[in-house]
Amino acid sequence: MSYLEKMFSLAGKVAIVTGGGRGIGQVVARGFASAGAEVVILSRSGADETVSLIEKDGGRAYHITTDVTNEESVDAALAEILKRSGSIDVVFNNAGICKHQSTFEATLADFREVIDVNLTGEYIVARAAGKIMVERGIKGSIINMASMSGGIVNIPQWQCSYNASKAAVIHMTRSLAVEWAEHGIRVNSISPGYIGTPMSADTPQELRDAWMPLIPMHRMGKPEELIPPMLYLACDAAGYTSGSDVIVDGAYTCL
């Protein structure tokens, strides 16, 4: 193994990916596994396909049914991971939802649901994993899923609850990075722009047509293009990187 391969390797590490049953989570989970990590998918809806794909690639993975908004569910899942795998080294806090609704259309329950999953869920998982890392002296990496929407307002669709949740995730990430720096735990976030996943097939064409002129690269990103920055944030090569928000948006936020 070359120097660079060792630097960017996740061999011997255990990586958690929440919401890894499909989309970006699935792609990143496969990327982590290809880098040598044992990957554990936490999701409510199952992840048989992701686990199967990783195993076909020659990697190791398993799934635990988990509700990230429920502290007891998360604690039980992490306890099982420690029992089965012996460590928690990397966490990709990916589980999230988005509701395209105007503020007057959305109910308070709608707003609270988005905040509960996107912000509180990430807090619960990060807090539980961080506590284990501190107790065991693990110099781990926690990567929170943010979004370019945490810094801009998307148009023409309205998604106030999502934008607010992602802005909060970015600042929560900075706060945890400073708080846990003395323990050697790195906390960063990643902010994708519009990424083309199988789920994007449900996006109305009129929205796609409206987005393209706003993206300087005039295309949606590929989920595989998130693997390199994710791998960097997860591995030891990023030993001095913490509290950062890595934007991968085709230069959308530059305008």
Confidence at 255, pLDDT banded by 50, 70, 90: confident
Name which residue leads in pLDDT, 1 or 188.
188
Residue 19 burial (10 A CB sphere; 0-12, 13-18, 19+): buried
Say what the pLDDT of residue 63 is: 98
pLDDT at 167 over 70: yes
Name which residue leads in pLDDT, 1 or 247.
247
40-55 pLDDT tens trace: 999 998 899 999 999 9
Distance CA 212, CA 189 (A): 25
70-90 pLDDT tens trace: 999 999 999 999 999 999 999
Confidence at 199, pLDDT banded by 50, 70, 90: low
Say what the pLDDT of residue 70 is: 98
Catalytic residues: 147, 162, 166
Helical residues (DSSP H) of 13-120, grouped into ranges: 23-34, 48-56, 71-85, 108-115
Mean pLDDT calculated for residue range 175-193 = 98
Mean pLDDT calculated for residue range 188-216 = 90
Say what the pLDDT of residue 244 is: 98
Mean pLDDT calculated for residue range 224-240 = 97
Distance CA 40, CA 51 (A): 9
Say what the pLDDT of residue 202 is: 76
Sheet containing 245-248, strands listed edge to edge, beginning at the edge strand earlier in sequence:
60-65, 38-43, 14-18, 90-93, 141-145, 186-192, 245-248
Residue 31 tokens read as 């990327």
Confidence at 201, pLDDT banded by 50, 70, 90: low
